[in-house]
Amino acid sequence: MTDAARRKVQRIVRCQRKFNAIRATSERGQKDYLVKIIQLIRGCGFGTAVFSEYTPASTLANIFFEVALCNLLGKPVIIVKSEEAKCPSDFVRTEWVTYSGKKKQQLRNDYTDSVSSVLKLAKYYETLGDLAIEAEDVHLELAFERYRQSFLIDGRAKVKKKIGNLRSRSRDKRDTAANMAPARSRIAVAISEFSTFLNNT
């Protein structure tokens, strides 16, 4: 895949479902570059990695380091590669979207299917958050983590409202469920920070 072909693939990826694609190289920052990458990954819903047989080894190492960071931080990753590109040995069993210059529509279809599977995870995480709230021993911290994952993937207002409700509960000292959480003040701060982020987006 030439650079021009890779740019076409990236345009197709960005156009799907009108997601806002973010690249670390296009974001200004004042910190160490690696810290910036980690922060961007933490704040995203999912990642997309694109490479070809022409991708230099050093760049490929960076791409799969970032894929590993996504996995570590619980972010789904869609891998898009050219037919001729070889994956690192640890990823040979990984599913990916394959690109051929003659099959642009196939790329669109396969990438759209992959995005649809990621969107299903948003509902799954929301359900896990609901279960944490409805459990006999309510776990606000776990509920927040699941709702946050859900919201970052698809940004539904319904989930944002649930996060707001958690924020209120974490601040209410009369709420016995909130008081039972061992890290009540920490969860209150985390929800407050994320709610501030939501209000600024």
Q: Which domains does the chain have, with CATH numbers?
A: 3-102 (3.40.50), 121-199 (no CATH)
Nearest residue to 150 via CA among 159, 140, 138 = 159
How many helices (DSSP H) and strands (DSSP E) are in the chain? Answer: 8, 3
Per-residue pLDDT at 1: 47
d(CA 180, CA 196): 25
What's the whole-model pTM score?
A: 0.75
For residue 51, give the amino acid letter. F
Most confident of 24-33, 66-75, 161-170: 66-75
Q: How far apart are the first and last CA of the chain?
A: 35
Q: What is the pLDDT of residues 7-54, one digit of tens each?
A: 655 565 555 555 677 777 777 766 788 888 888 898 888 999 999 899
Per-residue pLDDT at 4: 58
**pLDDT (average), residues 53-65:** 91
